[in-house]
Chains A and B, each alone.
Chain A
């Protein structure tokens, strides 16, 4: 796509249409004036009783011209005054438009990664288009859509839906923002406002005719016909003018959309961006239709048609035409058959990813949930914390003699360990070393290590003894040996004897908790791909006998955490 040439064409077309629009407005004004002048002269003949010859003479003579001139002045003043009034009425500042739509303004100090990305993109496009950074808004709506508003390059606003942020890739969001920047740069809102103003001037003539007909119902019978005729004439002229004007306005608006698409490619230099975004809207069943009830009044400014409306002309070209303008080879039929599914998949992947990130964040943030689970142990926890006796706390947790620690559920245990790790990480290296020494000594004391003791060590050891990542290379043979150990461990954790196995478990006597701990630690150094394979095998094994025990769950999570492989959840 040659975007400079496309822009030139779109501009030329919309200039022509705008010219035509003003010609129509002038024509309506002239037609109204002539019609009124004739009506006036005919009316005065009736009163004065003059002949038709005299009337024709009066129209063509200077006197008729004078009448015509004064009537035209009145008509144009009326139309312009009405337009001006309508323009000032609609010319609200962008903030109030966005707020009325239900959008919320974005703070520049946001910490949300998605919002931060959106802010950055707006800044990027501001540089690319040499337009000052506008006010930045977000509209809570799952549809993919966006709009810009404001009648001045220095006080404009830009808004995208949350659907945009969740479902579009960075490049696509950039293209959408670039499209809106084109509307700001090219003053499309101002053009649109002027057209709306003129249209309302034209509808004034129609309304005047309508009022005359209504008014004539109450007057004398003989006059009623004449007045009715006058009203019908005005309604016809005004109505036709309004219809033609609306058609032209919609056509101009469509050209401005083509212009904005071409400008989006100019600013991003990436046709795939805007094409990708439009395709995503194209394959999406809801298209860009917004759920906001106040979307109607702002329908002209959206990225794609934002409201369903059968009674007005399309302000946007059909999506496939817009995509075709960017990618001339685009074919809707073959697209639906082949590409569409992939795009939908990609969109849902993005959306799901965002949702997952958000839910993890929410979980992490909900301190209340943590407090709720820790309710019983918290007082004890706080007591040790107060005395800065973390060694005592760790040993208390290990001993499990206090009532509070005795019957903790696995989920509570995990939170307790996480919280404890967090606290321990804050300590000095010396303190941590000492706690670790004590912990290991206590665990080894009885000679036999229990599962619970193993858990405590496995969870707390990384916090007490930070391991430097990436300093060892694990060979394939070693990796296999380690995963063999771990898989065997899981095999004995639960009754797996009846399930089909893809490996032969090591003899139970050869396994020790110490060996398992070391294996987990060593596995951290394996290549990410290998880690993934390992976790997958582990998951298969755990799910093999269709029953996932609490023990398995806890250890599995522990391993995922240690190997930093997030997002795998065990469910039966």
Chain B
């Protein structure tokens, strides 16, 4: 009797340890998946900030480059389209068509912003304007933030994927409903550098 009790106790301890281990694994996976979801929302926040910033920038620039009207209008138009595309994607994130449209309009916005910023070289007055300088710093920073938000998303997706593929988590991940998540692809390698501003 003594020995069977002993065996029972040992078995109980082992089972409890396994259960605690599984709980720990599960919590780790939840933490990782929350991490990448939160990172995704950051991208949205920063894109929105950028869309709000661009009109201000154009407004200040207008006073100095009145005859570059076409470029300025092109920037605003591209910005409006990108904003629209982002909102429609946000309402239905699984829509691949909306995602493609968003990627395309983002590309167009980056191209027109690139053209706009290249014009600055011809306007030393504008470059020297304090207001413009601080707006430019804001734009640089926001561009960076968009880039870093994407990067942080990809990093946390990578952590998550590694987390659920590692042994022994991989045995349980499927039954808990954790699946691999694809990373964001940057359609255009130049996208991040296109709008880089140097003063």
Q: Do A and B bind each other?
A: yes
Task: Give A contacts to B, CB under 8 Å.
Answer: 113, 116-117, 120-121, 123-125, 127-130, 170, 174, 266-267, 269, 468-471, 527-528, 531, 564-566
Distance between Cα atoms of A36 and B46 in the complex (Å): 64
List of 4 A-B pairs having minimum Cβ-Cβ separation, nearest first: A120-B141, A128-B148, A127-B148, A124-B144
Contacts of B151 in A (CB 8 A): 128, 269
Grouping DSSP codes into helix (H, G, I), strand (E, B) and loop, the B interface class, with mixed when no group exceeds half, is: helix
Selecting from B87-95, B120-128, B163-171, the interface stretch reads: B120-128
Q: A129 touching B137 by the CB < 8 A rule?
A: no
Contacts of A116 in B (CB 8 A): 134, 137
Residue of B38, B121, B148, B149 with highest tally of chain A CB at under 10 A: B148
A120-B137, A564-B124 given; A266·B144 CB < 8 A: no
Contacts of A566 in B (CB 8 A): 128
Q: Can you show 18 pairs from A to B with CB atoms below 8 A apart?
A: A113-B134, A113-B137, A117-B141, A120-B138, A123-B145, A124-B148, A125-B148, A127-B42, A127-B148, A128-B148, A174-B144, A266-B155, A468-B66, A469-B123, A528-B122, A564-B124, A564-B125, A565-B124
Residue of A120, A123, A130 with highest tally of chain B CB at under 10 A: A130
Is B39 interfacial (CB-CB < 8 Å)?
Answer: yes
Q: B64 touching A469 by the CB < 8 A rule?
A: yes
Grouping DSSP codes into helix (H, G, I), strand (E, B) and loop, the A interface class, with mixed when no group exceeds half, is: helix
Q: B124 touching A130 by the CB < 8 A rule?
A: no
The minimal Cβ–Cβ distance linking A243 to chain B, given in whole angstroms, is 38
CB contacts under 8 Å to A, within B112-171, are 121-125, 128, 133-134, 137-138, 140-141, 144-145, 148-149, 151-152, 155-156
The minimal Cβ–Cβ distance linking A362 to chain B, given in whole angstroms, is 15
Distance between Cα atoms of A117 and B138 in the complex (Å): 8
Contacts of A174 in B (CB 8 A): 144
Q: B38 touching A130 by the CB < 8 A rule?
A: yes
Distance between Cα atoms of A128 and B42 in the complex (Å): 10
Q: B65 touching A470 by the CB < 8 A rule?
A: yes
The minimal Cβ–Cβ distance linking A345 to chain B, given in whole angstroms, is 18
Q: B67 touching A471 by the CB < 8 A rule?
A: yes
Please give me the residue from chain A that is nearest to B138 by CB atom: A120
Distance between Cα atoms of A59 and B125 in the complex (Å): 90
The minimal Cβ–Cβ distance linking B140 to chain A, given in whole angstroms, is 8
The minimal Cβ–Cβ distance linking A561 to chain B, given in whole angstroms, is 11
Distance between Cα atoms of A527 and B123 in the complex (Å): 9
Please give me the residue from chain B that is nearest to A124 by CB atom: B144
Cross-chain contact of B145 among A117, A124, A564, A565 (Cβ < 8 A): A124
Contacts of B64 in A (CB 8 A): 469-470
Please give me the residue from chain B that is nearest to A111 by CB atom: B134
Contacts of B55 in A (CB 8 A): none
Contacts of A469 in B (CB 8 A): 64, 123, 125
Contacts of B123 in A (CB 8 A): 469-470
Cross-chain contact of A121 among B66, B124, B141 (Cβ < 8 A): B141
Q: A113 touching B133 by the CB < 8 A rule?
A: yes
Not counting A128-B151, A267-B148, A469-B125, a sample of 12 additional A-B residue pairs whose C-beta atoms are within 8 angstroms of each other reads A120-B141, A124-B145, A130-B39, A174-B144, A266-B155, A269-B151, A470-B67, A470-B123, A471-B67, A528-B122, A528-B124, A531-B124
Residue of B46, B65, B133, B141 with highest tally of chain A CB at under 10 A: B141
The minimal Cβ–Cβ distance linking A214 to chain B, given in whole angstroms, is 50
Distance between Cα atoms of A471 and B121 in the complex (Å): 15
Residue of B66, B68, B134, B145 with highest tally of chain A CB at under 10 A: B145
Contacts of A123 in B (CB 8 A): 141, 145
Q: B128 touching A129 by the CB < 8 A rule?
A: no
Contacts of A565 in B (CB 8 A): 124
Distance between Cα atoms of A269 and B155 in the complex (Å): 11
Distance between Cα atoms of A470 and B125 in the complex (Å): 10
Cross-chain contact of B141 among A124, A267, A564 (Cβ < 8 A): A124
The minimal Cβ–Cβ distance linking B78 to chain A, given in whole angstroms, is 23
Q: B141 touching A130 by the CB < 8 A rule?
A: no
Distance between Cα atoms of A469 and B68 in the complex (Å): 12
Q: A127 touching B155 by the CB < 8 A rule?
A: no
The minimal Cβ–Cβ distance linking B177 to chain A, given in whole angstroms, is 23
Please give me the residue from chain A that is nearest to B65 by CB atom: A470
Contacts of B145 in A (CB 8 A): 123-124, 127
Contacts of A269 in B (CB 8 A): 151
Please give me the residue from chain B that is nearest to A127 by CB atom: B148
Cross-chain contact of A128 among B122, B137, B152 (Cβ < 8 A): B152
Q: A129 touching B124 by the CB < 8 A rule?
A: no
Q: B122 touching A470 by the CB < 8 A rule?
A: yes
Contacts of B107 in A (CB 8 A): none
The minimal Cβ–Cβ distance linking B163 to chain A, given in whole angstroms, is 14
Contacts of B125 in A (CB 8 A): 469, 564
Distance between Cα atoms of A528 and B126 in the complex (Å): 12
The minimal Cβ–Cβ distance linking A523 to chain B, given in whole angstroms, is 13
Cross-chain contact of A130 among B122, B128, B134, B156 (Cβ < 8 A): B156
CB contacts under 8 Å to A, within B46-99, are 46, 64-68
Contacts of A120 in B (CB 8 A): 137-138, 140-141, 144
